[in-house]
């Protein structure tokens, strides 16, 4: 059988890969192959907004990664779900639409990445967006991915939370992604008509009608094929059979912050000395591959309530029935939402130059079940809610590296949480701030007790120990193939070309130079929109 050849091969059908493959298919007559390790996203719990909690431990759509024991978490492992399905993690996430703050991208630019400042990337956020009613200076209409303003449907307790934050001096913002990103408010979410609005639904679904796009599911990329230093194709496993496909123009890695560095290392691009210990021949010694890994780490404080919460709506059998009927009839209500309702970006100290903490308010609680048993529709059988925080821009840096030459073996992930004094201080500060909010009216008026960690946890040492015992990822791994100027410290240049290699780009969250302040799905879409435009520009210049 003759080896198949395509103009472009995109590895990974996740958030970024669906954007890249569809834009290539629509904007050229070139043949495009998209390779995805998982299957279809046409599953009820993927499409139902609140159904994402059912997917947290579903191996049918999830890589189910675990980190190595981490000293910052008292030796605990951290569970890192990642989407293994068309749409990737954008098919199993909580759908919060948050771009990041202006200074996040200006910092990218100031690190030497020309063209990645806030004013440079804003047009790509706008292009990607179909917003309900946003300021046209900051928002798009008619783009692929829909952004819903759900402020009229959030639980009434959110108003109390926001009012208490305002009483403490934190400004109210109507739009985190508009002119004023700092402050507290209601999070916008990626839904359309009560269904998840992901890059698989909005980009890929339409592009698959194009004859020049081929999508292959349930195939695991095992190696990038090179001739000298030029990427010329991909080897993948399909039902334990090895298949090779070649690319006339370029190979694009969009496999995400874990799988992209893993595939590079399996292909001989990484720390040469470490690769050799696994019997992997080094093609290019690139020590930055898998390093600079960043993530957001959060902890929740739980409070009993004298007024009903979502626990009371979604716990009882008839409450579930009412919610289901409302959703079926109107596509609204708690089943059409993310439980991450309110929150914000605030400065723990007015002297801070930019917001340093992100807040979350969830009118629901799970104190009696471990993470692996939690389901959105089975909350605590009493009225309660939670408040969470994480550092916006943690300074701890982790790494990941393949632990075997077998692509089916998960890489070793070492987050190195809380490994800097700044991150430790922000952990202590954030814990005290959550209590300060809870002690402020009008939220304080309805609190019966602090359920976790309990009022007995008081001192700085006790707060930090509790944080180490209970804090966990917010599922935002990024930066493991960071963009930058120095090939020893970064993996791609500012046009997302892999340093030292030809015909190979990375377009996904792994190229973030630093983690953004907030949820990472929206900036990943932006990177994909900008990255594929640069790819096409360079290709047209080369073809002249």
pLDDT tens-place string over residues 120-177: 999 999 999 999 888 999 999 999 999 999 999 999 999 999 999 999 999 999 999 9
CATH 3.30.410.40 matches 151-187+297-391+421-470 = yes
- Whether residue 378 is predicted with pLDDT greater than 80 in this model: the reply is no
Q: For residue 139, indicate whether it is catalytic.
A: no
- Report the pLDDT value the prediction gives residue 36, as an integer from 0 to 100: 98
**CA–CA gap between residue 37 and residue 22 (Å, rounded):** 18
3-state secondary structure 329-386: HHCCCHHHCCCCCEEEEECCCCCCCCCCEEEEEECCCCCCCCHHHCCCCCCCCCCEEE
The percent helix, strand, coil of the chain (3-state, each to 5) is 30, 25, 45
- Whether residue 373 is predicted with pLDDT greater than 70 in this model: the reply is no
Please compute, for residue 458, the number of CA atoms within 13 A of its CA located in the half-sphere on the CB side: 2
Fold equal for 1-102+196-296+400-417+476-544 and 151-187+297-391+421-470? no
**CA–CA gap between residue 472 and residue 514 (Å, rounded):** 19
pLDDT tens-place string over residues 448-498: 999 999 999 999 999 999 999 999 999 999 999 999 999 999 999 999 999
The residue ranges of every structural domain in the chain are: 1-102+196-296+400-417+476-544, 151-187+297-391+421-470
The mean pLDDT of 385-410, rounded to a whole number, is 98
**CA–CA gap between residue 12 and residue 84 (Å, rounded):** 9
pLDDT tens-place string over residues 304-348: 999 999 999 988 888 989 999 999 999 999 999 988 899 999 999
- Whether residue 371 is predicted with pLDDT greater than 70 in this model: the reply is no
Q: What is the mean pLDDT of the chain?
A: 95
The CA angle 221-224-227, to the nearest 5 degrees, is: 155
- The phi, psi pair for 243, rounded to 5°, reads -130, 140
**CA–CA gap between residue 31 and residue 210 (Å, rounded):** 10
Residue 73 and residue 64 in contact, taking contact as beta carbons nearer than 8 Å:
no
Catalytic option among 146, 296, 476, 499 = 476
The mean pLDDT of 178-193, rounded to a whole number, is 97
- Report the pLDDT value the prediction gives residue 240, as an integer from 0 to 100: 83
**CA–CA gap between residue 340 and residue 333 (Å, rounded):** 14
Q: Band the pLDDT of 542: cuts 50, 70, 90.
A: confident
Peptide bond into 462 cis (omega under 30): no
Tally Cβ neighbours within 10 Å of residue 409: 12
- Whether residue 375 is predicted with pLDDT greater than 70 in this model: the reply is no
Q: Band the pLDDT of 357: cuts 50, 70, 90.
A: very high
Q: Taking the model in full, what pTM does it have?
A: 0.97
Residue 440 and residue 299 in contact, taking contact as beta carbons nearer than 8 Å:
no
- Report the pLDDT value the prediction gives residue 1, as an integer from 0 to 100: 44
Q: Band the pLDDT of 526: cuts 50, 70, 90.
A: very high
CATH architecture assignment, domain 1-102+196-296+400-417+476-544: 3-Layer(bba) Sandwich (3.50)
The mean pLDDT of 279-306, rounded to a whole number, is 97
* C-alpha closest to that of 376 among 329, 340, 325: 340
- Whether residue 206 is predicted with pLDDT greater than 50 in this model: the reply is yes
- Whether residue 374 is predicted with pLDDT greater than 60 in this model: the reply is no
* C-alpha closest to that of 37 among 248, 227, 297, 253: 253
């Amino acid at each position: 059988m003759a080896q198949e050849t395509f103009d472009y091969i995109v590895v990974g059908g996740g958030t970024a890969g669906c954007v890249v493959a569809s834009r290539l298919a629509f904007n050229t007559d070139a043949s495009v192959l998209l390779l995805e390790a998982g299957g279809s996203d046409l599953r009820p719990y993927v499409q139902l907004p609140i159904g994402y909690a059912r997917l947290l431990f579903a191996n049918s759509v999830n890589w189910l990664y675990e980190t190595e024991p981490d000293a910052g978490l008292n030796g605990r492992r951290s569970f890192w779900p990642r989407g293994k399905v068309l749409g990737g993690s954008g098919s199993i996430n909580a759908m919060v639409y948050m771009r990041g703050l202006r200074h996040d991208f200006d910092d990218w630019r100031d690190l030497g990445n020309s063209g990645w400042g806030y004013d440079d990337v804003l047009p790509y956020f706008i292009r990607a967006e179909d917003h309900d009613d946003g300021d046209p200076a900051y928002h798009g209409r008619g783009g692929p991915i829909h952004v819903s303003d759900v402020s009229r449907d959030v639980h009434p307790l959110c108003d109390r939370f926001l009012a208490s934050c305002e009483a403490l001096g934190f400004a109210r913002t109507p739009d985190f992604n508009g002119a004023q990103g700092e402050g507290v408010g209601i999070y916008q979410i990626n839904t359309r008509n009560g269904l998840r609005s992901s890059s698989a639904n909005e980009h890929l679904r339409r592009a698959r009608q194009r004859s020049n796009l081929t999508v292959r599911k349930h195939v695991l990329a095992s190696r990038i094929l090179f001739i000298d230093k030029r990427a010329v194709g991909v080897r993948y496993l399909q039902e334990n059979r090895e298949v090779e496909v070649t690319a006339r123009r370029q190979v694009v890695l969009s496999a995400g912050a874990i799988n992209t560095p893993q595939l590079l290392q399996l292909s001989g691009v990484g720390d040469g000395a470490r690769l050799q210990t696994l019997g992997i021949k080094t093609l290019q010694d690139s020590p930055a591959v898998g390093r600079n890994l960043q993530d957001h780490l959060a902890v929740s404080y739980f409070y009993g309530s004298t007024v009903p919460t979502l626990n009371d709506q979604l716990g009882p059998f008839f409450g579930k029935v009412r919610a289901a009927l409302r959703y079926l009839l109107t596509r609204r209500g708690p089943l059409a939402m993310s439980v991450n309702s309110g929150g914000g970006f605030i400065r723990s100290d007015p002297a801070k130059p930019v917001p340093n903490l992100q807040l979350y308010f969830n009118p629901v609680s799970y104190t009696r079940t471990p993470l692996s048993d939690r389901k959105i529709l089975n909350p605590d059988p009493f009225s309660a809610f939670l408040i969470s925080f994480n550092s916006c821009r943690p300074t701890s840096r982790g790494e990941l590296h393949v632990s075997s030459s077998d692509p089916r073996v998960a890489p070793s992930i070492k987050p190195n949480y809380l490994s800097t004094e700044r991150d430790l201080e922000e952990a202590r500060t954030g814990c005290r701030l959550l209590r300060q909010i809870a002690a402020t009216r009008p939220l304080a008026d309805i609190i019966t007790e602090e359920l976790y960690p309990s009022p007995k946890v008081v001192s700085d040492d006790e707060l930090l120990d509790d944080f180490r015992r209970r804090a966990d990822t917010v599922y935002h791994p990024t930066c493991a193939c960071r963009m930058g100027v120095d090939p020893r410290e970064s993996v791609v240049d500012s046009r997302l070309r892999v340093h030292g290699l030809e015909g190979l780009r990375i377009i996904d969250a792994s190229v973030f130079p630093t983690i953004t302040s907030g949820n990472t799905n929206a900036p990943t879409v932006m990177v994909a929109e900008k990255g594929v435009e640069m790819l096409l520009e360079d290709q047209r210049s080369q073809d002249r």
